[in-house]
Structures are given as C-alpha cells and as structure tokens.
Amino acid sequence: MADDSPIEQVRLTVPPTDDPTLQVLTFRTWLVGMPLCILQTVLLRIGVFRRQVISISSVCIDIILLIVGNLLAKVLPEKSVRIPGTRWSFSLNPCPFNIKEHVTTSILVNSISSPGFLNISIAKIFYHREIQFWPALFLVISTQVIVLLLALVAFALASAEAKQGLRGISHLAVEGGMCQGADLQSDIQNCGGCGQRCAFNKSCCGGACVDLLTDNEHCGKCGSMCPMKGTERAVCSFAMCNYAS
C-alpha cells in the first residue's frame, strides 16, 4: 500500500487504513479524560507562572490512559444506561478499548496544554492593559471554540467519507440487524456474526478472530501467511515469520 510506512515497527503498530466501526466517544473516554483534564488544568494554573512548571507530560498521560482504559474494559459491566427524561442511552462498556478511544482521550487531556487565560495575562503583564471580566471571558471562549469548530468540520468531512466507504463493502450485515452496516469479515465487534466480539488482543480476519502475533496464516496482518522453505514452514512469532533452523 502506497501510504504504508517503510518502517516495520510502525507498520505493525499503526495500520494505513481506517476502521470506521471503532467507537470513539465512549463512556470510558469521558470517565478517564475529564478527571485528568481537570487535574492538568489545576496543575498548569498553579505552576505556569513559576520557574518550575508543574504538569504531567503527554507521554506519561498516554501511558496512564492505555493502562486505565484496558483496565476499565475488563472491569466495567456491559450494561446500558438510559439518561433520565430522554430516550438516549449509552453502554458502560460497549467494546474493547481501541486506538481511537486512546487518541481521543489523549487529545482531550492535552488540549489544555496552552491555557486560554495566558492571553489575558500577557496583555496585563507586558502591555499593561487591564481587560474587564466579560471581554476577557468572550476572548478566552472564542480562542478555544475556533479550534473546536475546525475539529467539528474535519469530523463531519471524515464521517461523510467513512459512510461512502462502507457503501462499497459487499459483505456487510443485513439491513435492519442489530449490527447494521458492520463488516462481518473484519469488524472485531461483529466478527463472523452480529455480536461475536473478538478478545482485546485479537483481530478479525475473514470472519474469524486471530492473533496477528502468532497466527501462521495471518502473521502481522490479515492474509500474510508465513512462507515455506523447502519442507519447513516458518513459524509466526511476535508478528514475524521465523524458521527453526
């Protein structure tokens, strides 16, 4: 594939294609992201004007999110909760913790790495201009909302492209089913049939749950079979085909 990385470790970690069936804004995203976002905001507000800035690095946040996200995927019950007074409901544990959840939560927590109140502080300290409360409030909101609006436009465009891509898949779940529109050949949540979810460490290849790290017929990626060397077949280990001799 033209967009694939020439580095093998990157190819095994980051796929060049998008899986539109992966859920993004789950209950776990908000449960983990909001407390860390508040904590990061408090630390930055306290330490941003000090010589020794107190904050949590983005790498540390990513590691914490990965551990906590996988832990919640095992601990939280698969229970649907209805919002009182509305018809809306959500699942506490809708799917295994995936890469899109991880990235979204990381963006949520790191979005306050450059606080909006710094513009007000710079105007006061360096330009000796005191901005009143309401103008300052609208200035901070506008600078933050512009980025969110751009993200919303990008999300709308990406969603439209994903829907067009799904229409071209021939082996989707039947109309009216619980997993309508799901690709039963590659969807880890509906692998081979509606509701047949693969384990968190497995992928869906051809309607079957396989381990890309050890499966000889799907080593590293779906359909990548380990080759023969004479009468000896290579064995898949850590997504790489190796020969015993």
Residue written as tokens 């290849």?
A: 205
The conformation of residue 76, written as its DSSP 8-state character, comes to S
Contact between residue 73 and residue 1 where contact means Cβ atoms under 8 Å apart: no
Instruction: Give the residue from 28, 11, 42 showing the smallest Cα distance to 239.
Output: 11
**Helix or strand run (H / E) with residue 232:** strand 232-233
182-199 pLDDT, tens per residue? 677 777 777 877 777 787
194-239 pLDDT, tens per residue? 777 787 668 888 888 888 788 878 888 888 888 877 677 778 877 7
65, two tokens: 């999110």
207, two tokens: 């309607």
Is this prediction's pTM over 0.95?
A: no
**Helix or strand run (H / E) with residue 229:** strand 228-229
Query: What is the spatial distance between Cα 219 and Cα 213, in angstroms, rounded to a whole number?
Result: 6
109, two tokens: 């927590």
